[in-house]
């Protein structure tokens, strides 16, 4: 065999070896990640386990495997690419069906934790990880959650409003007495139960923009119920003044209860604004607090309308006396 042929053969061996190495890494990583998902993840509830697994695997590769190969092979980068692609594939399969709000938030939180850990532990920036997790559907998922949460909140609050309206109009029993000795309706407790629940979930998912968008949607509902309350106050006041014989007893007490309850809602909104707002970055804090301030104004408008209704009723009752 000629020297030239020997040289040509020597040059081809590393090329075939590198190709086989890349094929082996692909097969090995695909199998290993697939096995981890099958045994440890299984469903979206355990998706957060993936981050630690990938970090541990790639740390081992960086410390032990990559140094054994020539730098020109870029073995660590190959492993990063293969692990990430396999994670994307397995995660997309888990998230392929219809997702509820909780699952969406879990995914969104995990995506942020995954990218954060890759950057912090391995100095791998998000833009190096291709393709994107969940095919880049991050914004779409956030919107899906917002739609689900908004619908649920609206249904909850409107059902509550229906009950509150019936109680306000019929006035069968006296309003309940709050801990401070003032009449209240008790509605704000249930109203903010679902609002606080969703705000806390989104805050834990570290989605500040989504949190602000959620408050905007809540305010749309609050504006609607504010309008209903003001219209109901006007109708009941007119009935009380112009046809008192058709009005149920206790309008004054119930109107005071409504005013007090709206003030309680203002206080709860203020608490959310101040406490949750402090947990946000400066970039989103201003918008969040502005939206909650608007929430406070909405409830305050109803309280003021109730106070004005009380004044109108009192002046109406005094009119015959002052006319004498």
Q: Are 273 and 181 in a shared domain?
A: yes
Nearest to 84 by CA among 14, 44, 134: 134
Whether the per-residue pLDDT at 103 is higher than 90: the answer is yes
pLDDT (tens digit per residue) in 246-304: 889 999 999 999 999 999 999 999 999 999 999 999 889 999 999 999 999 999 999 99
Q: What is the pLDDT of residues 59-91, one digit of tens each?
A: 999 999 999 998 889 999 999 999 999 999 999
The last residue of one of the domains, among 108, 136, 164, is 136
Q: Is the peptide bond before 191 cis (omega within 30 degrees of 0)?
A: no
Q: How far is it, in rounded angstroms, from Cα 50 to Cα 38?
A: 12
> Can you spell out the DSSP letters for 240-284?
HHH-GGGSPS-HHHHHHHHHHHHHHHHHHHHHHHHHHHTTS-HHH
For residue 183, give the H/E element and its range.
strand 183-184
Q: What is the pLDDT of residue 96?
A: 86
* 111 and 244 share one domain: no
Q: Are residues 216 and 198 in the same domain?
A: yes
Give yes or no for residue 22 having a pLDDT over 60. yes
| Domain co-membership, 246 together with 230 | yes
Query: Over the stretch 43-53, which tens digit does the pLDDT of each residue have?
Result: 999 999 999 99
> Is 250 found in the same domain as 214?
yes
Cα 304 to chain centroid, rounded: 31
Determine the average pLDDT of the residues in 80-103.
94
Cα separation of 131 and 47, whole Å? 18
Instruction: Kindly tell me if the per-residue pLDDT of 198 is higher than 90.
Output: yes
**What pLDDT shows up at residue 317?**
67
In this predicted model, what pLDDT tens digit does every residue of 265-274 receive, in sequence order?
999 999 999 9
* Residue whose C-alpha is closest to residue 111's, from 136, 94, 89, 90: 136
Same domain, 58 and 154: no
Please tell me the predicted confidence (pLDDT) of residue 321: 59
For residues 105 and 94, what is the distance between their CA atoms, to the nearest angstrom?
14
Which tops the pLDDT comparison, 306 or 136? 306
CATH number of the domain encompassing residue 215? 1.10.357.50
Tell me what pLDDT residue 7 has. 47
**Single residue among 106, 136, 166 that ends a domain in this structure:** 136
Do 180 and 284 reside in the same domain of the chain?
yes
Residues 194 and 299 in one domain: yes
**Could you tell me if 247 and 132 lie in one domain?**
no
Instruction: Judge if 111 and 147 occupy the same domain.
Output: no
Same domain, 174 and 43: no
> Within this chain, do residues 120 and 266 fall inside the same structural domain, yes or no?
no
Evaluate whether 148 touches 215 at the Cβ level (below 8 Å).
no
What does pTM read for this prediction?
0.84
Number of domains present in the structure of the chain:
2
pLDDT tens, residue by residue, 214-235: 999 999 999 999 999 999 999 9
CA dihedral 235, 238, 242, 247 (to 10 degrees): 50
Domain that includes residue 177, residue range? 140-323
End position of a domain, from candidates 105, 136, 167: 136
Q: What is the mean pLDDT of the chain?
A: 92
């Amino acid at each position: 065999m000629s020297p030239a042929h020997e040289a040509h053969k020597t040059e081809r061996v590393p090329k075939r070896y590198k190709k086989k190495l890349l094929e082996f890494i692909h097969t090995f990583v695909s199998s290993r990640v697939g096995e981890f998902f099958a045994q440890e993840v299984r469903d979206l509830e355990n998706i957060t386990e993936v981050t630690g697994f990938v970090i541990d695997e790639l740390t081992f590769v960086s410390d032990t495997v990559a140094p054994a190969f020539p730098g020109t092979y870029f073995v660590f980068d190959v492993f990063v690419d293969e692990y990430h692609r396999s994670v994307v594939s397995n995660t997309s399969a888990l998230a392929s069906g219809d997702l509820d709000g909780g699952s969406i938030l879990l995914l969104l939180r995990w995506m942020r934790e995954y990218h954060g850990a890759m950057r912090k532990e391995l100095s791998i920036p998000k833009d190096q990880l291709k393709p994107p997790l969940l095919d880049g559907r991050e914004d779409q998922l956030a919107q899906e959650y917002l739609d689900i949460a908004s619908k649920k909140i609206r249904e909850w609050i409107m059902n509550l409003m229906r009950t509150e309206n019936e109680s306000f109009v019929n006035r069968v029993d006296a309003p309940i007495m709050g801990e401070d000795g003032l009449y209240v309706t008790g509605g704000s407790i249930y109203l903010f139960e679902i609002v606080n629940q969703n705000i806390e979930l989104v805050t834990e998912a570290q989605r500040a923009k989504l949190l602000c968008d959620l408050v905007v949607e809540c305010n749309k509902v609050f504006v609607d119920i504010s309008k209903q309350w003001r219209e109901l106050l006007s109708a009941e006041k007119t009935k009380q003044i112009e046809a008192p014989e058709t009005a149920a007893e206790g309008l004054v007490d119930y109107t005071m209860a409504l005013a007090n309850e709206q003030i309680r809602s203002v206080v709860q909104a203020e608490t959310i604004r101040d406490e949750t707002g402090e947990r946000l970055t400066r970039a989103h804090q201003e918008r969040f607090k502005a939206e909650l301030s608007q929430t406070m104004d909405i409830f305050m408008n109803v309280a003021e309308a109730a106070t004005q209704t009380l004044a109108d009723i009192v002046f109406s009752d005094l009119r015959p006396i002052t006319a004498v």
